[in-house]
């Protein structure tokens, strides 16, 4: 449980917020859970809700909104393609499906080697650069705009090479 393992870190997080606004600590606590478990588990959502005296649905609703939080395991690299309306009008949906076809998976799935997950997300603030995606990698987030399926596959090949070299 988070409260046992990270008691002092949780106290430090909560100390940043007024007592009557401690619910504002929900995102830092969710990040802590994800750091510990790789995802924000159902159990950790319940624990966070209890720590903050809020309803579990208030915690769980944030998972679908924030692209950096995950409630399901994924690949080492998460390719998140913006398919919001402006990007869709620039071909993002077709791009996403064709990329997945070439990888042999569907949106939301992970390649059999466990390396690459492809997800659709809303608004990555680069409408003029669509089709575009962000890569969530262990070393940070990397943006790729004005992509073709071929250029995206080259990015994925580079990620796999980097992983094999390191």
pTM: 0.80
**How many Å apart are CA 12 and CA 156, to the nearest integer?**
38
What local confidence, expressed as pLDDT, does residue 1 receive? 86
Query: Which residue intervals of the chain bear CATH 1.10.10?
Result: 2-63
Which strand (E) or helix (H) includes residue 160? Answer: helix 149-165
Mean pLDDT by 10 residues, the chain (166 residues): 92 95 95 92 96 95 88 94 95 97 97 96 92 93 96 97 81
Domain 77-165 CATH superfamily: Glutaredoxin (3.40.30.10)
Query: Which residue intervals of the chain bear CATH 3.40.30.10?
Result: 77-165
Q: What CATH number should be reported for the domain whose range is 2-63?
A: 1.10.10
């Amino acid at each position: 449980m988070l409260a046992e393992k990270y008691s002092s870190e949780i106290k430090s997080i909560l100390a940043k917020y007024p007592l009557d606004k401690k619910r504002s600590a929900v995102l830092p606590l969710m990040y802590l859970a994800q750091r510990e478990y790789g995802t924000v588990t159902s159990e950790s959502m319940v624990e966070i809700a209890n720590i903050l005296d809020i309803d579990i649905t208030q915690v769980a609703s944030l998972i679908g909104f924030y692209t950096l939080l995950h409630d399901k395991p994924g690949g080492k690299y998460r390719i998140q393609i913006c398919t919001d309306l402006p990007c869709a009008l620039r071909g993002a949906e077709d791009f996403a499906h064709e990329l997945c076809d070439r990888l042999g998976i569907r949106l939301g799935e992970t390649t059999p080697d466990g390396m690459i997950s492809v997800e659709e997300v809303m608004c990555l603030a680069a409408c003029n650069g669509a089709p575009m995606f962000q890569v969530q990698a262990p070393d940070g987030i990397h943006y790729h705009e004005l992509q073709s399926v071929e250029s995206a596959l080259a990015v994925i090949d580079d990620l796999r090479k980097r992983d094999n070299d390191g």
